[in-house]
Structure 1
Amino acid sequence: MSPVTQIAPADSASALAHFESAFRFETDCWDVHDATTNGRADFVLLDVRSPTLYAQGHVPGAINLPHGKIIESTMNKYPAETVFVVYCAGPHCNGAHRGAVRLARLGRPVKLMIGGVTGWVDEGFELAKGG
């Protein structure tokens, strides 16, 4: 028995529920790119890294809001139903999760863009420079 099958996989119904639910919490770089380049962005894209890292390269159309600054007074300018998509550097960074937690605590709808900047570049998409 291998380490892969040492713990049996979930039954199909449980697997379906698990994997379908993931789409409620995350999106990917390809879908964000498609929405933003085709004028269908019905969300606010937040780069939750530092202003320095944002200036070095960010997803086009993203607003820089470091996760530590996601507070009620900062978010008041957005209607309560605004959907936010957050990202950070990539899979090695938990900044996007921190931002998502802060938004969820404020009662804001939020999804994580899996892959972050690393995933964006890996897909072959260009980064914008400057602030």
Structure 2
Amino acid sequence: MIDRADYYAAKLAYETDASDVHAARQAQSDIVVVDVRSEEAWAQGRVAGAIHMHYSEIAARAPREISPDAEVVVYCWSPGCNAGAKGALEFSRLGYNVREMIGGFEYWVREGYPVEDADGTHRRPVDPLTGIARIRTRA
């Protein structure tokens, strides 16, 4: 029987969230953020600075494009999408240190972090259900 502490330690070894990914990038961490969604989803918007590698392409592309020593974080659309798990599995099979960003692109956007698309880099307002929104005060 697995101990609860062991379970949660393992969970944190395999998962991360948008807040922790953003903080690591702000701290100049060398993590590689990989969007494993379709080309159409990538074009619609993505985590700023991420690379695109559909989960079905990882086995062929990752060894050529990503250092085997890299810390990799994968994401898909949302908590309702399992492409992130599929991508993490492929990176794991190749021996990468990989974690899945829980909440996916949805929570990255909802928490107000930078998003890229064909028009450049943008930030949407923080959704008060997922993060602390700035409170407007009257002058």
Shorter-chain TM-score tier: 0.7 to 0.9
Aligned length: 119
Distance 2:50 2:117 in 1: 11
Q: Identify which of 87, 93, 101 aligns with 2:75.
A: 87
Give the percent of matched residue pairs that are identical in Structure 1 and Structure 2. Answer: 36
Structure 1 partner of 2:15: 26
Of 117, 131, 136, 1:129 maps to 117
The unaligned stretches of length 5 or more in structure 2 are: 121-139
Q: Which structure's residues are more often strand, by fraction?
A: 2
Aligned residue in 1 for 2:52: 64
1:72 and 1:106 in contact (8 A); partners too: no
1:118 pairs with 2:90: no
CA separation in 1, counterparts of 2:57 and 2:87?
9
4+ residue segments displaced more than 6 Å? none
Cα distance change of structure 1 residues 58 and 73 upon mapping to structure 2, 3 Å threshold: closer
Runs of at least 5 residues in structure 1 that lack an aligned partner in the other structure: 1-9
Deviation, 1:14, is: 1.9
CA–CA separation in structure 1 for the residues paired with 2:3 and 2:27? 36
Root-mean-square deviation over aligned CA pairs? 2.0
Cα distance in 1, alignment partners of residues 68 and 9 from structure 2: 25
Quick one: higher RCO (CA 8 Å, sep 6+), 1 or 2?
Answer: 1
Q: Please report how far the alpha carbon of residue 26 of structure 1 lies from its aligned counterpart in structure 2 after TM superposition.
A: 0.7
